[in-house]
Structure 1
């Protein structure tokens, strides 16, 4: 999706439910157990990581310059373990283009943010309804005898600015939420911060998930008119938290935000989900850009069947059926070759360069991990000129683990891998996961993928496996015929089908030319593309 000419508004995502850097207004302070102090206000700590740079100069350039045009910015208040940053970067449209600001009150979590570029970490800093200082109550370090957190066996990370009387008194264990780590930190007036650091022509998404402290911030934002800077609002409301405000007052703030501010969409990064995930990533459909007044927004449109087909992520004309597993070809003696690329560039280049140099053009589908494509984009784009590119996943997982994961985790992996190839103008239709359990198959079906699981694999995945006795104890020149014989016998058993090779095995490179010579000169198989195989 191109964005070069888009007019965009500042993206502010503020707060993950487990780490809270937000404070209520001074109203009802007699009923809360923390207060903002003004004396000796420290300057908020800003650890800047913007395309690998550190310091405040790039921060100042990004936020004060009037010459850089509209920006996309994510404000992540309550960053926790960077789960919002990770989910946003991996699955949100144009997520890599956003400047991200994360506010986190627990300095022990700062290392989690270090891998991300174009990112600013404010830590330990909270967000509030006014500038000042406040005690941050954060979770104690884990130990075998720590006990349950809020009656659950969990290590939630981060903490809160608001505690009840019992938690306040229990300095040893920290009470029911184990909030024994306590420190005075600076807090910033978030409403003022947004107005001072963003412009209305920027694109702003605002996420606020801060264990009840959101009510004071939202009330201040409504008073200041700050929702005029906001384009989208994500978060959660926590009416049960001890923030010293009545339920009726909370409900009124929620209603006013809905009517005078922005509709809130739920954001649950720890669940790998946000409320409009399915809208942003519709099944077998595409988002298009539509122009509204002076800015461009993402939108879904209802249109003619022909136009819908033109927009499909996987064209309707693609052979095969979505979510179906294919290991054989239609037609007698048809054989399609696939190459699974691992994460090792050197081995992959050897195999693919040898394949390209063969005396005739061989139709091949090359399956890659999206993180390999991120690391070597120009290489994968070059391969796409000669071969069909399919997906293996986002990255390798330990054997047997991927299909056992939560459906939301699998969904994130599938969509993230798909998006990374789309960023390279490659639209894959075939997916060859290492595991194809029920949840994996369902998520791939939702995206329209044809699932490829070759009937013949080298190295073999089933008996007889390669062992020292039957294979590895031999010299190179002796292993070649043994490998080719294994492949030939499997081909006879399956009467052709789909043959899968793996670049991570060095012998794939060693055997390749001899294998192609056999298939082209001495076999009766018809080498076809996967499209022809499934047609």
Structure 2
């Protein structure tokens, strides 16, 4: 059995190495079985001898996963449309941005380009439940935001090694995952982790069934639907 208290103590005593990484992963509530992926990331980068290794943080919110990606040495591209969060991200990652290691896109992502209403729940603009897609009868619109076709964006990155794609986009994930698979782009990404939000839709179970069948029928092993 994992002693998480011992893990935290070890992490606090190791501010510049693996312990710091463990503390970051604990802080973001990363599922335990993902940890080996991030333990391997620095080694993976070292093997590629200078090639651009990219991680993509869709739904960055407070930037906790961006912290992990940068600590491991990956070039990080983040998407966050929440206007209340963006000033904090710009301040937090200002040095990494100036060094070209962090790209902050103040936009939402979906399966096509455009502009959509940004909805927020009772938690206000700092809520993690902010979204552009879903049945939003009990939510209020705060503004319109630019939406980026994530598949197009990834293609335009060119010849890079995409190690990890995190998708936590409050309902837009169904269209994104389907398009990634249909265009075969998932084959160019080592790991894709997605938090699903079927609860936002009256046909949410059908959406989940369709995505699971698509993953199974294509024998896909690198798309995980259990991110939290």
What is aligned with 1:73?
54
Listed as ranges, the matches of 1:435-514 within 5 Å are: none
2:208 is aligned with 1:250: yes
Unaligned 5+ residue runs, structure 2? Answer: 1-41
Distance 1:185 1:157 in 2: 16
Give the conservation status (yes or no) of the 8 Å contact 2:196–2:225. no
Partner of 1:190: 150
Counterpart-to-counterpart distance in 2, 1:165 and 1:267: 23
Q: Is the 8 A contact 1:104 1:158 kept in 2?
A: no
Cα drift, residue 264 of structure 1: 0.7
- 1:66-465 superposed matches below 5 A: 70-90=51-71, 95=72, 97-113=73-89, 114-116=91-93, 117=96, 118-123=101-106, 125-139=107-121, 156-157=127-128, 159-164=130-135, 166-167=137-138, 174=139, 180-199=140-159, 202-242=161-201, 245=203, 247-258=205-216, 260=218, 261=220, 262-264=222-224, 266-268=226-228
Give how far 1:132 is off: 1.0
Partner secondary structure for residue 134 of structure 1: strand
Name structure 1 gaps, 5 residues minimum: 9-68, 143-154, 168-173, 175-179, 269-535
CA contact (8 A) 1:81 1:157 kept: no
Of structures 1 and 2, the larger Rg is shown by: 1
Task: Output the CA distance in 2 between the equivalents of 1:2 and 1:87.
Answer: 14
Distance 1:248 1:194 in 2: 27
Contact 1:75 1:100 in 2 (8 A): yes
- Higher share of residues assigned helix: 2
> In 2, are the aligned partners of 1:78 and 1:104 still within 8 Å (CA)?
yes
| CA distance 1:88–1:3, shift in 2 (3 Å) | closer
C-alpha distance in 1, partners of 2:79/2:45? 29
Aligned partner of 1:20 in structure 2 is none
The 3-state SS of whatever aligns with 1:108 is: coil
The runs of at least 4 aligned residues of structure 1 exceeding 6 Å deviation read none
The structure-2 alpha-carbon separation of the partners of 1:209 and 1:258, relative to structure 1 and needing over 3 Å to count, comes to farther
Residue 74 of structure 1 aligns to a residue in which SS? strand
Q: Closer, same or farther in 2 for the Cα pair 1:4/1:103, shift >3 Å? A: closer
**Paired residue total:** 178
- Note the aligned Cα RMSD (angstroms): 2.8
User: Deviation of residue 166 (structure 1)?
Assistant: 2.6
2:47 aligned partner: 6
TM-score by length of 2: 0.67
Query: Which residue in 2 is equivalent to 1:329?
Result: none
1:213 shift after superposition: 1.8
Match of 2:36 in 1: none
Report the CA distance shift for 1:208/1:257 in structure 2 as closer, same or farther (over 3 A): farther
Q: Hey, what's the Cα distance between the residues in 2 that align with 1:77 and 1:226?
A: 16
Match of residue 13 from structure 2: none
